[in-house]
Structure 1
Amino acid sequence: MDIAVMGAGAVGCYYGAMLARAGHRVVLIGRPGHVEAVRRRGLLWETQTSREYVPAQASEQPEAVAGAELVLFCVKSTDTEEAGGQIRAHLAPDAAVLSLQNGVDNAERLQALLPQPVVPAVVYVAVEMAGAGHVRHHGRGELVLGPSVRSDAVAAAFRAAAVPTEVSPNAIGELWAKLVLNCAYNALSGIAQTPYGRLVQGVGVVDAMRDVVDECLAVAARMGVSIPGDTWEAVLGISRSMATQLSSTAQDMARGKPSEIDHLNGYIVRKGAELGVPTPVNRVLHALVRLMESRQDAG
């Protein structure tokens, strides 16, 4: 397939590299320094057991999505509408767009802009950008896709590229399961600049995370969302399966970039206020991250 990655950060580069290694033609659309590095030598793809340069095209321009059969839409939640508007006129009529983003409403927001089918995806991968043109994988990598006319074929392509992928009829519940994980870890990891495995060893941290999870589940229940599996056990499992991972919020804060906190804990706070569900712990974490970001901006 011809595949475009819109927003070639850590997540986009990881899955783009996996698909390119499987023989698909991949173009990474990202920032100038990253694009230049990929053009010069390929994408440096590093795991715990291997390190190689993966050939891929790269572009700074949104119109590079033209002709792609599959678009991996990987921009930050704060940029969904802007980036969707940038690619709209250039998408092939029969392209499938896969939203590999944090938060629960990005696919819906993007679908409002695009006539092409937008498929929500839940991403479970520990990955970071270790430099321009250099993606480093720490663990996991599975995807859960929402149902659509293209989902089975897209899932098959990912599985053939060694990416464990399933299609779930309960996409919203799966997205909420990931949202709860993000709410439990992202802000705390960002504030402390600490990876998950060490984070949970902090005094009172697991209890605070449990409070966050309980608030999220109360909001989900009031909204009628059915979250699959044992949510708390899944939260605890992340500290083992992604022990060395810094949250995306932590990575953004370390680089002085705006985080997605408004679409994580902030989303729970807003929905809780609308529905009359108290969310005091999520509110404090959201406020602290925003305060730290404003201090960086002032500096």
Structure 2
Amino acid sequence: MKIAVMGAGAVGCYFGALLARAGHEVVLIGRPALVDKVRRDGLWLESAAYTGAVSLQADTDAAAVGTAQLVLFCVKSGDTQSAGEAIAPHLSNDAFVLSLQNGVDNAQRLSAVLGREAVAAVVYVATAMAGDAHVVHHGRGELLIGASRHSAGIATLLTQAAIPTQVSGRVVEALWNKLVVNCAWNALSAISRQPYGRLLESEGVIPLMRQVFDECLAVAGASGIPLGEPLWKAVLDIGMSMPGQHSSTAQDLTRGKRSEIDHLNGHVVRLGKIHGIPTPVNATLHRLVKLLEEERDGR
């Protein structure tokens, strides 16, 4: 299958590499430095299952989605509209667009921009870019995708490419589950510049995370999303299963990129205001990350 990855960051590069290794024709759409490196040397994949160069195509132009039958949409949440507008004129009529993004409303926003359905996916993978065309896999790698008439076939294709994928009618709830986990970990990792394992060992961090968690559950409940107490264990399990992982927000700050904090803790704060639910801890973490971004950018 011809596959385009719109937004060749750590997630897009990792899944693109696996699909290319499975024999699919993959094009990564990303920054000039990455594109030049991939065209010259291939994409370097570092994982427990395989380490080496992977040959695939790369382009800086969104028009490269033109012949793709599957588009993995992996841009940051803040770029959903602009990136969606960039690919919209070039999509083939039968292209299946899959949103592999953090946050809970990207597929909905992308569908509005494209004027066609974009299917939501929940991404469970720990990856990082170690260079312009060097992706490191730290753990997991499965997807949960929304139901549509083509989802079962796409899930089979992805699973055969070593990307375990299930189809679910409860993807919105799963996206909220992941949002809560991200709200608990991402900002703290970014502010402290610490990996998950070290945060767990730090005095006062777990009670602080619990406050974030409780605010998120209250907002989710008011938004009609039934999340429960078992999710707290999942929050803690992330730190224990991936102790060396820095959050995506921490990675963004380190690499000089705009983070997705507005669509994580910031999203909870906005919904809290709508529903009249106080979210002081989420608001504090959100503002601290924004201050770090402003300092980095010289504002």
- TM-score norm. by structure 2 comes to 0.98
Map of 1:218 onto structure 2: 218
Q: CA deviation at 1:240?
A: 1.9
Map of 1:261 onto structure 2: 261
Q: Tell whether the 8 Å contact from 2:217 to 2:228 is kept in structure 1 after alignment.
A: no
Map of 1:47 onto structure 2: 47
Q: Tell whether the 8 Å contact from 2:191 to 2:289 is kept in structure 1 after alignment.
A: yes
Q: CA deviation at 1:30?
A: 0.3
* Cα deviations by residue, 1:239-292 (Å, 9 ceiling, x for unpaired): 122221111100111122211100000000000001011111000000100111
Q: Tell whether the 8 Å contact from 2:127 to 2:135 is kept in structure 1 after alignment.
A: yes
Map of 1:6 onto structure 2: 6
Map of 2:121 onto structure 1: 121
* Cα deviations by residue, 1:215-240 (Å, 9 ceiling, x for unpaired): 10100001111237821011011012
What SS does the aligned partner of 2:201 have?
A: coil
Write the distance in 2 (CA, Å) between the matches of 1:125 and 1:133. 18
1:126 and 1:213, CA in 2 relative to 1: closer, same or farther beyond 3 A? same
Q: CA deviation at 1:204?
A: 0.5
Q: CA deviation at 1:298?
A: 1.3
Q: Tell whether the 8 Å contact from 2:13 to 2:28 is kept in structure 1 after alignment.
A: yes
| AA aligned opposite 2:264 | L
Equivalence map 1:119-198=2 (5 Å): 119-198=119-198
Write the distance in 1 (CA, Å) between the matches of 2:292 and 2:85. 30
1:49 and 1:166, CA in 2 relative to 1: closer, same or farther beyond 3 A? closer
* Cα deviations by residue, 1:22-60 (Å, 9 ceiling, x for unpaired): 111100000000001100111100013531111100000
1:85 and 1:156, CA in 2 relative to 1: closer, same or farther beyond 3 A? same
What SS does the aligned partner of 1:89 have?
A: helix
Map of 1:282 onto structure 2: 282
1:112 and 1:90, CA in 2 relative to 1: closer, same or farther beyond 3 A? same
Write the distance in 2 (CA, Å) between the matches of 1:38 and 1:256. 21
| AA aligned opposite 2:38 | V
Write the distance in 1 (CA, Å) between the matches of 2:3 and 2:44. 18
Write the distance in 1 (CA, Å) between the matches of 2:7 and 2:137. 17
Map of 1:90 onto structure 2: 90
What SS does the aligned partner of 1:112 have?
A: helix
Q: Tell whether the 8 Å contact from 2:269 to 2:279 is kept in structure 1 after alignment.
A: yes
| AA aligned opposite 2:171 | A
Unaligned runs of 5+ in 1: none
* Cα deviations by residue, 1:137-170 (Å, 9 ceiling, x for unpaired): 0001111101111111111111101111111111
| AA aligned opposite 1:191 | I
Unaligned runs of 5+ in 2: none
Write the distance in 1 (CA, Å) between the matches of 2:133 and 2:292. 28
| AA aligned opposite 2:147 | P
Write the distance in 1 (CA, Å) between the matches of 2:240 and 2:35. 34
Q: Tell whether the 8 Å contact from 2:38 to 2:58 is kept in structure 1 after alignment.
A: yes
List structure 1 runs of 4+ shifted beyond 3 angstroms: none
C-alpha root-mean-square deviation of aligned residues, in Å? 1.1
* Cα deviations by residue, 1:96-138 (Å, 9 ceiling, x for unpaired): 1000001000000000011332110001111001001110000
- TM-score norm. by structure 1 comes to 0.98
Is the aligned partner of 1:105 residue 2:94?
no
Q: CA deviation at 1:176?
A: 0.2
